[in-house]
Structure 1
Amino acid sequence: MPQPDASGVLGLGDLPYVNAQAASGAAAFARWEDGEDGAGWVDVSWSRFLRDVTALAKGFIAAGIAPGDRVVLVCSTRYEWPVVAFAVWAVRGVLVPVHSGCSGARLHRILLDCRPARVIVESRRHAGVVAVAGRELPELGRSPVLGERGPGELEQVVRTGAYMDPSAVLLRREETSRSDPAAIVYPVTTAGGELGAVFTHGSLLAAAESAVRAVGPMVEGVAEPDALLGLPLAGTFGHSVLLACVVARVRVGLASRGVRSRLAEVRSFGPRVLVCTPGLLEAVYAAELAQAREEGSDVLHTFTNAVRHAVEFDRDGRGGAWRRFSRRMYEWAFVRVREELGGRVAFAVCAGGELAPRLTHFYGGAGVPVVQAFGVVRAGGAVTFNVGANRRVGTVGRPAPGMEVRLSRQGEVHVRGASVFSGYFRAPEASERAFRQGWLATGVVGSLDDAGFLTVGAAAGGGPGPGRGPATGGVPAVPAAAAAAVDPVAVLEAALVAHPLIAQALVMVRGRPCAGALVMLGRDQVEYWRLVNGRPLSMPLEEVAAEPALHGEVAAAVRAANAKVDAEAAIRVFHVLPEEFGVHSGLVSASGGLRRAEVERAFAEEIDAMYRGAAGPPR
């Protein structure tokens, strides 16, 4: 794996040009295409990618995009995302990436805040939002809509600049400074994030180089490394991984579908490095467990033993002839798991939530080590990596190269490094409040052990947090005073929505006899749960949500969330709703968060019934 050397790069827009000169014929990206002979992966070389970026960059200049102009990109993880991003950077524009699932109301709010020169979307629904916002944004030009499987109306922008000499793009690139703003990222939170975090070219390059240095040692022994990226590129970790692959010239496959379809993409791509959320690894394990159940009690018993041996093999050390022999007895089960991940995977990089320690050990014992990363949006990428032989399962690892981590007196995690954001867009006072003497205050409670491993969201009051008891290393808990520094309602809601089944959560405390929660399930994950648990397709979602087994999984998520706060703040009762609230429900605010008062009024009967049965914490 090439070591990152971006010392001569003025800005992000230079990277395609540097790579095309060094390795013009090498594959830069792999895109999923549906052809006459069937669907499959098609490689895009660095020279082809450079042509696409330059053509679009010329179109942007011809369309009047000036240095510093914002270009909003509402797009899923697909090939057009890096093409647009690098074209924006090449002309000294500022990219504003927005998740493709963003509500119309929240997109409208973002547009009014950043006042872009162009908006590029991939859905007609979002195009309608842009048209409405355009009445309040006279500077907003015509905004193209991407095609379902191609550039769509983006080709019109390319044609606009077809006459222009490429030297116009070169002049913009030569004027770029690492201190220039490169991106504005709007965090997505249930509480509603109104401020855009500004990142410079230098900070995004620093995040990419940090990721390469952290993971590079694991890639050095991998022949022909490539990566399948299954994370939203709108998030800072997603595009920091993308930039890391570009810096290191690693071929990247861009996966954009739901978990069930994505598993098919993973199998067909066969990545050496899989970058994903915990949900995908959980889905693979659940599918294998369901298959073992279908094949009978003997197979299920054998699979359970295989899991146990894998966990012990990874957790307790790989020495000893008997332990190695015991693991080889169950190699057939581990081969099946690896085949589900494409058959070539050397390791997985997991972000966007915590993979349970037992599953982390299982995959490690099955031959797929899991690198877990932790970060916050304003840090520009990963703050810590739990990587390699020195990882400590149950923590989020040690600081990433170039990052520093400390704890405040209240136990809040503070970080410092070149990748940290430069401030909020047009909000100097809020920017000042985000820092403590040069350190970014993350709003996350944590603890550091003597070896420098960070644990976040640990239990308050001395008890072990979820998966952090003696069996996984006994990480020290955070003092109760530290948990009070962060709103327990926010901690509980964030912990709940981190579970793959839960799309939205609303915790109620004020005026209630105890903390209670409304839990809204994600439709896609419920459908998948129905599939792997053998429930009939004819069963209504309301009945699926009431299933004792599913209710038990939600209860486990509530218990895990409760472990992150004081006992007095713990959720005592909860009610499960079968689907999340959409923008048209009137229960979602313009920022994308829940309208608490409206939700409580709409479900007053359910809430009253929930509290009538209040007795104690979920069992």
Structure 2
Amino acid sequence: PSLRGLVVIDGQAAAGRYEFPILTAEELRARGKELVEADDGVEERYRTGVHRLRGSDLATIVYTSGTTGEPKGVMLTHDNLLANARATREVITLSENDVALSFLPLSHVFERMLAYRALYDSVTVVFAESLSTVARDLGRVRPTLMTGVPRFYEKFVSAIHDAVDKGPAVRKKIFRWAVGVGRAAVRVELAGRRPSTLLRARRAMADRLVFSKIRERAGGRIRYFISGSAPLAPSVAEFFLARGFNILEGYGLTETSPVVTANAIGATRLGTVGRPLPGVEVRIEPDGEIATRGPNVMLGYYRRPDLTAEVLKEGWFYTGDVGQFDEDGYLTITDRKKDMIVTSGGKKIEPQPLENCLKADPLVAEAVVIGENRRFPAVLIVPDFGRLETEAHARRVEWTTHDDLVSHPAVVGRYQEVVERLNQTLGQFERIKKFAVLPSEFTMERNELTPSMKVRRKVVEDRWKEVIERMYA
């Protein structure tokens, strides 16, 4: 009821459908110009209003993605956002010479912080036309900085492997050799040692033959890839590092503005989300839950004091995530408390580590472990259809539709191998007893994915209910 108007950035809104005015961006600019010309004091009143603001005033309400329930309106202050922008400067240095390519929705606090840092450090931000044009836009924009979620980086890796697989045998052989050299060098460096003279020479050759071309595909100027919103598989991070890209993984939530911890250049530890930012405290509760406090923690949930009281206690925000610190203060996230599966036999299973292991296989795009109040854990697998189709052609598998493809015995057997490989590392009660390969990807249009590409478990389980019931029949 308090809405005074809308501004349409692109295109025109239908006239006469609303009780409030709707302006195009051009019309808004024209009105502003008329107002300034007609009233000499309007600019001064605007500046006075801005200076009247306090850091503790509400700056924005950002809604959570709703992966574990109904989205909540997170109230963030100017102080929250500025504190986080300043603290991230200790990890990532930016300047007016940097150019960021943005494709994540600005309704997501991760991408919003990129925008705030860009304003703070005079960085140019270019918005990709769409998710499907990011690869093209990388070449056109030639960014020095980019944020993304793990699924984006996984697709980046898959696209490179697909391109190599379609090439001649000699190119494949050179690529595999270069990958082996790059990984060997990165592992030595991550261990704090200097690669040998021979390994450095081989790496220089690998860079000239292979890696420099991959970097050129990304515009040739990338200084940082930043990953957040979900765990990044160490194998994916290693892929980027081996090819001369800096990829930094951090951890945060909407409620923390968002960054809590981050890996820094020269101090990266794969499989972790880094150390706490300056001014941010993090502790692990007896049940493994991560709690944090600092100037970045929200005011609370909009009009939900009951939910606020559940997560904010004596200044500490209880994240709902489970994790642990190593001896050097690097944090590892193991799961969400609400995602914890309790079988009908009372056994507790953390699904996220199992899903991440399954997704380490190039043929697995998504995996959702289920088993709440069931006799045993099972898993829904979404294939990387591009790579699966390539492998199916190589194996002379005949198929017409994706339903045919995922039910073919050779394909089922291939995914059985993936599951069995995981099971060999697990205790008896954790082992995946049944699996189903789904014939379609998860999408935002069907509400299976959030705008930041996180899986909505409840939606997935509801949509594929019949498949799940057949596994437990």
TM-score by length of 2: 0.78
> 566, 575, 595: which one pairs with 2:436?
575
2-side partners of 1:543 and 1:122: how far apart? 44
1-side partners of 2:424 and 2:99: how far apart? 39
CA offsets, 1:352-406, max 9 Å, x none? Answer: 3333223322322321121111112211122111121121112111112222211
Match of 1:247 in 2: 120
Q: Which amino acid aligns with 1:183?
A: T
| Contact 1:211 1:400 (8 Å CA) reproduced | yes
| Contact 2:249 2:263 (8 Å CA) reproduced | yes
CA offsets, 1:132-166, max 9 Å, x none? Answer: xx8xxxxx84566xxxxxxxx34444445443235
> 195, 201, 206: which one pairs with 1:330?
206
Deviation at 1:609, TM superposition (A): 3.2
Do residues 164 (structure 1) and 35 (structure 2) align? yes
2-side partners of 1:513 and 1:264: how far apart? 47
Do residues 183 (structure 1) and 46 (structure 2) align? no
Match of 1:293 in 2: 165
> 198, 204, 209: which one pairs with 2:86?
209
Match of 1:492 in 2: 351
CA change 1:181–1:549 in 2 (3 A) is farther
2-side partners of 1:584 and 1:366: how far apart? 34
CA change 1:293–1:396 in 2 (3 A) is same
CA change 1:555–1:388 in 2 (3 A) is farther
1-side partners of 2:341 and 2:10: how far apart? 37
Q: What are the within-5 Å matches in structure 2 for residues 438-517 of structure 1? A: 438-457=315-334, 487-488=340-341, 492=351, 496=355, 505=368, 507-510=370-373, 512-517=374-379
Q: What are the within-5 Å matches in structure 2 for residues 74-223 of structure 1? A: 141-142=20-21, 153-165=24-36, 166-167=42-43, 168-216=45-93
| Contact 1:448 1:455 (8 Å CA) reproduced | yes
2-side partners of 1:348 and 1:207: how far apart? 19
Deviation at 1:438, TM superposition (A): 1.4
Q: Which amino acid aligns with 2:106?
A: L
Deviation at 1:410, TM superposition (A): 1.2
CA change 1:578–1:316 in 2 (3 A) is same
Deviation at 1:204, TM superposition (A): 1.1
Q: Which amino acid aligns with 2:67?
A: T
CA offsets, 1:251-310, max 9 Å, x none? Answer: 222224225x21111111111223223333333332332233222333222211211111
CA offsets, 1:160-187, max 9 Å, x none? Answer: 5443235243343122221111111211
Deviation at 1:516, TM superposition (A): 3.0
**Which consecutive residues of structure 2, in runs of 5 or more, have no partner in the other structure?**
37-41, 343-348, 450-454
Match of 2:238 in 1: 361
Moved more, 426-435 or 275-284: 275-284
Deviation at 1:191, TM superposition (A): 2.8
| Contact 1:396 1:456 (8 Å CA) reproduced | yes
Match of 1:8 in 2: none
> 274, 281, 288: which one pairs with 2:153?
281
CA change 1:356–1:544 in 2 (3 A) is same
Do residues 313 (structure 1) and 185 (structure 2) align? yes
| Contact 1:496 1:502 (8 Å CA) reproduced | no
Q: What are the within-5 Å matches in structure 2 for residues 324-403 of structure 1? A: 324-331=200-207, 332-403=209-280
Deviation at 1:417, TM superposition (A): 1.6
> 580, 588, 610: which one pairs with 2:471?
610
**Which consecutive residues of structure 1, in runs of 5 or more, have no partner in the other structure?**
1-64, 70-115, 135-139, 145-152, 459-482, 613-619
| Contact 1:496 1:561 (8 Å CA) reproduced | no
Between the two proteins, the alignment pairs up a number of residues equal to 441
Q: Which amino acid aligns with 1:309?
A: V
Q: Which amino acid aligns with 1:225?
A: D
Q: Which amino acid aligns with 1:233?
A: L
| Contact 2:380 2:438 (8 Å CA) reproduced | yes
CA offsets, 1:484-520, max 9 Å, x none? Answer: 786337963798599696579583433x332334456
Q: Which amino acid aligns with 2:197?
A: A
CA change 1:587–1:450 in 2 (3 A) is closer
SS at match of 1:267: helix
1-side partners of 2:312 and 2:170: how far apart? 58
SS at match of 2:203: helix
Match of 1:411 in 2: 288
Q: How large is the RMSD of aligned CA atoms in angstroms?
A: 4.2
SS at match of 1:330: helix
- Identity fraction in percent: 23
| Contact 1:412 1:485 (8 Å CA) reproduced | no
TM-score by length of 1: 0.61
| Contact 1:424 1:430 (8 Å CA) reproduced | yes
| Contact 1:506 1:596 (8 Å CA) reproduced | no
